[in-house]
Amino acid sequence: MEVIKVEQLYKQYRLGQVGTGSLIQDVNRWWYMIRGKEDPYEVITETNDRTTQAKRDFVWALEDVSFSVNQGEVLGIIGRNGAGKSSLLKILSKVTSPTRGQITLNGRVASLLEVGTGFNPELTGRENIYLNGAILGMTKKEIAGKFDEIVAFSGVEKYIDTPVKRYSSGMYVRLAFAVAAHLEPEILIVDEVLAVGDVDFQKKCIGKMKDVASAGRTVLFVSHNMEAIKNLCSRALLMEHGTIVSEGSPSQVIETYLNNRSKSDWGHTYTELEAPGNEFTRLKSIVLKPIREDGKLMITVKSSLEINISFWNYVEDLVANLSLHLYAATGECVFNVITQLPPPTLGVGLHHACCVIPKELLNTGVFYVSFMLVQDTAKPLFNFEEVLTFEVEEERENTNWHGKYPGFVRPNIDFKINP
């Protein structure tokens, strides 16, 4: 039985600042509408491609998306940031409405678009369970009935009457997920909950999702963790630039995804308006440059990789670190490096940082880079997720073995036979 049916879904966003233009556009729209004409701003031309700056004020986050999900299926949705996954989930969870098209849902939807939504730091764990449960659509009675189960699942029994602002981030997430996991909706939307928490908790989450699916309910699962998609999903969708480009078995779709992303370029430069970031910081550019003795611009296991980051800092006298994470294509973190300690103090303005990954460290394969700006070595101001992607190619001599060496790293470690 079809539980979700998405038909020719479109979503348009207005870009940039809403200023004096918006009133004029509104009046214009209204004028077209009363004359029974089509919306003049709904011309489909621009696809949502964050690598180039859009020339128009409007952008299509979703274009002609259609698919359906059957009862009991676990559908994985993958794609780069900005591919339209979040827009799709937001429409499915009724946070925003589509511009065109329609969705038919057969059953109650609950979404875990970031767990802990509506948690109030001043309230205790107990109070937050009730509040969060109610926000997610449960009645007080339903929550009370499951209260003990929720607390046991979260593993924070001892601190249930402590304000959650005193919780560690792990406890916080566990409690939040526990509430959401006990919603028992017919359709569960899960977005990146596995990115946090320890191994034990991840196992619990995955177990819960499997339970949900085996109980005949439907799960939509968005993740960058390819292993999780492979293990959990019965089917997968790949989204790019607001459209579905591939659909099928998870392993097949993941392969398409990895092949597509490895073709991406070695950096982006943003204008201050469209740059990713928040009120504390924005990213101006991140550029990767391979450094080789022969001077060729290619990334192989024998190239050093120079990553140049330029970012705007908006916080006065910021005691700042950058923390860079390098991920393998499958989602595992290969390493995390941070800038010098003690950290320097930065003024407001543009700053530059450079990271050199030595040659003969990384194995072949696709990697991606995220980094965050950290205040006082403890408080992340913004996490620039997946801002750079590259693929390390093979380069080897004097061997008859042509397969891929296993592992994420292939360091040049001294290892000799004494003949």
Which positions lie near other proteins, rule CB under 8 A? 13-14, 18, 22-23, 26, 90-108, 111, 113-114, 117-118, 120, 122-123, 127, 130-131, 134-137, 139-140, 163, 186
Least Å distance, CB 269 to other proteins, is 26
CA angle 89, 209, 230 (to 5 degrees): 80
Q: How far is the CB of 141 from other proteins (least distance, A)?
A: 8
If the CB atoms of residues 105 and 338 are measured against other proteins, the closer one turns out to be: 105
Judged by beta carbon, residue 97 or residue 400, the one nearer other proteins is 97
To the nearest whole angstrom, how small is the minimum distance from the Cβ of residue 64 to other proteins? Answer: 14
Nearer to other proteins, 140 or 404 (CB): 140
Work out how close the CB of 341 gets to other proteins at its nearest, in angstroms, rounded to a whole number: 33
Residue 239 exposed, middle or buried by CB count within 10 Å (0-12, 13-18, 19+): buried
- Rounded distance between C-alpha atoms, residue 98 and residue 418, angstroms: 69
Query: Is the peptide bond between 185 and the residue preceding it cis, with omega within 30 degrees of 0?
Result: no
Please name the helix (run of DSSP H) or strand (run of DSSP E) that holds residue 353, with its range, or none: strand 349-357
| Least distance in angstroms from the C-beta of 126 to other proteins | 12
| C-beta closer to other proteins: residue 59 or 171 | 59
Q: What are the φ and ψ backbone dihedral angles of 149, each rounded to 5 degrees?
A: -60, -45
Closer by beta carbon to other proteins, 105 or else 315 = 105
Spatial distance between the Cα atoms of 106 and 187, rounded to a whole number of angstroms:
8
175-205 in b/e burial notation, b at 16+ Cβ within 10 A?
bbbbbbbbbebbbbbbbbbbebbeeebbebb
The nearest distance, CB 137 to other proteins, in angstroms, is 7
By CB atoms closer than 10 A (0-12, 13-18, 19+), residue 402 is exposed
> Considering beta carbons, is residue 114 or 227 the nearer one to other proteins?
114
Locate 47 and state its tokens.
């696809």
